[in-house]
Amino acid sequence: MSELTEGEAAPAFEMPASGGRTVSLAAYAGRPFLLYFYPKADTPGCTQEACAFQEALPALAATGLDVIGVSPDPMKAIEKFATKYALTFPLASDADKKTAEAYGTWVEKSMYGRKYMGMERSTFLIDAHGKIARIWRSIKIPGHAAAVLAAAQAL
């Protein structure tokens, strides 16, 4: 697992995304963006988080910030999720979990005493120079989009 710290270079990535798009670190060179990792499309928590970012999108865009959501789901599930909730920002498929591993979000979890690997709900604010400006790990959804917006405005 990667232990990234604020101020270091963001790991490179390239993934297919909703709407026939491709997202990559290189494509966002010179622009700040938000990379958030979520466990599974169209589940209650992930839906609440995605809708909160969609609602905050105009304010985030006013700061020059783009948003990218990342899950290990296949593109078919991601496209269905994006369409169902009218999510306009790219949702990327990290099916091989390489990006999650690079960002340290593919972690061992435990439920009812059973251990398994899964996606840690985490958010990374990447500045225009490709450096990690802010990291939120194991986030709680209520108020998270507002905290991200405050950090983006401070960039």
- Give the count of beta carbons closer than 10 Å to the beta carbon of residue 77: 16
Distance CA 152, CA 155 (A): 5
Residue length of the chain: 155
DSSP string over 53-104: HHHHHHHHHHTT-EEEEEESS-HHHHHHHHHHTT--S-EEE-TT-HHHHHHT
Q: Which residues of 45-60 are buried (b: 16+ CB within 10 A; e: fewer)?
A: ebbebbebbbebbeeb
Which of 46, 78, 92, 133 is an active site residue? 46
Q: Is 51 a catalytic residue?
A: no
H or E, element range at 37: strand 33-37
H or E, element range at 50: helix 44-62
Catalytic residues: 46
